[in-house]
Amino acid sequence: MAVYRRMEAATAKPTAGQRSRIPHHLIDLVDAADPFTVADYRQAAVPIIEDLHRRGRTPLVVGGTRLYLYALTEPFHEGPPPDPEFRSTLRDLPSAELYRRLEAADPESAARIAPADRKRLVRALEVWTLTGRSIEQVQRESRTRGGLYRAFWIALIRDRAELYQRVEARVDAMLAAGLVDEVRGFLDEGFTADTPSMQGHGYKEILRALLGEYSLAEGVRLLKRNTRRYVKYQLMWLRSRDDVHTIPADQPHGSIVDGVLSLVR
């Protein structure tokens, strides 16, 4: 979400001071109204990484969502680009109907996608409609192609109970930073729940509250719950990889840096 301009309250972008001391890339890259896919991310990131390599620098790819990290290190096949006209035909359909349609057209993909996962349902239907092929088939083909970069994986790990406390505090800070007004402004511009930038944590829950689907208090509750679930999911993923080196994050920053440098060396 940090790639989007004008999205500040819930994106945890590095501060101006941090950016002045350490070069950051792909911050405020596109407007919040514009679509931005993992294929766009890969296209934008690769030239920067190549330039850093030419200058003898080691890029730190910091995340975040594993799909974007995998786009640089694993076999990648982007499939057809998003089709706004096709997606508009699905906008008013409930997720249950999208799932029913996918089951009928592409049961293999439907078996792997949760009935409530609207984003993946739309993409699977889109790929099937535009190519006549299952998104599972497209993804299997990608596994025959190599990744671009060999990466050294490091994860900063905290105790889950502490992470959950930090989630609570972070959501409260996002609200204090004006998240509700920020989302209301995007709604006034015509943004919808299907606008890609509005599907990030914080934005999707508050947007639906402002649309009247539930109360603002319920939106905040859902935001905290969804973020805790995402934390759990990320921890499970990191611990499932035997090539991820972990460093405790509950220590002074200097000790963390020393630990990272020691591992890399």
Please list the residues that pair with 248 across neighbouring strands: 157
Q: Are 77 and 138 in contact (CB under 8 A)?
A: yes
Predicted structure pTM score: 0.77
Instruction: Report pLDDT for 258.
Output: 95
Which domains occur in the chain, in start order? 84-142 (1.10.20.140), 152-264 (1.10.287.890)
Degrees, nearest 5: CA angle 177-8-204: 90
Which whole-number Å values give the CA distances from 173 to 169, 170, 177, 197, 247, in the listed order?
6, 5, 6, 20, 26
Whose structure tokens read 């679930």?
A: 229
Rounded to whole angstroms, the Cα distance separating 204 from 198 reads 5
The pair of structure tokens assigned to 186 is 């995007």
Instruction: Report pLDDT for 61.
Output: 94
Amino acid at 21: R
Instruction: Report pLDDT for 145.
Output: 53
Instruction: Using DSSP bridges, classify how beta strands 153-157 and 244-248 pair: parallel, antiparallel or unpaired.
Output: parallel
Ranges assigned E (strand) in the chain: 4-5, 30-31, 153-157, 244-248
- The tens-digit pLDDT sequence of the chain (265 residues) is 999 999 999 999 999 999 999 999 999 999 999 989 888 898 899 999 999 999 999 999 998 788 889 889 987 666 777 888 898 899 889 999 999 999 999 998 899 898 888 888 999 999 999 888 888 887 776 555 557 898 999 999 999 999 999 999 999 999 999 999 999 999 999 999 889 899 899 999 999 999 999 999 999 999 999 999 999 988 988 889 899 999 999 999 999 999 999 998 8
Mention every residue, 6+ apart, whose C-beta is less than 8 A from residue 109.
Answer: 102, 124, 128, 134, 135, 136
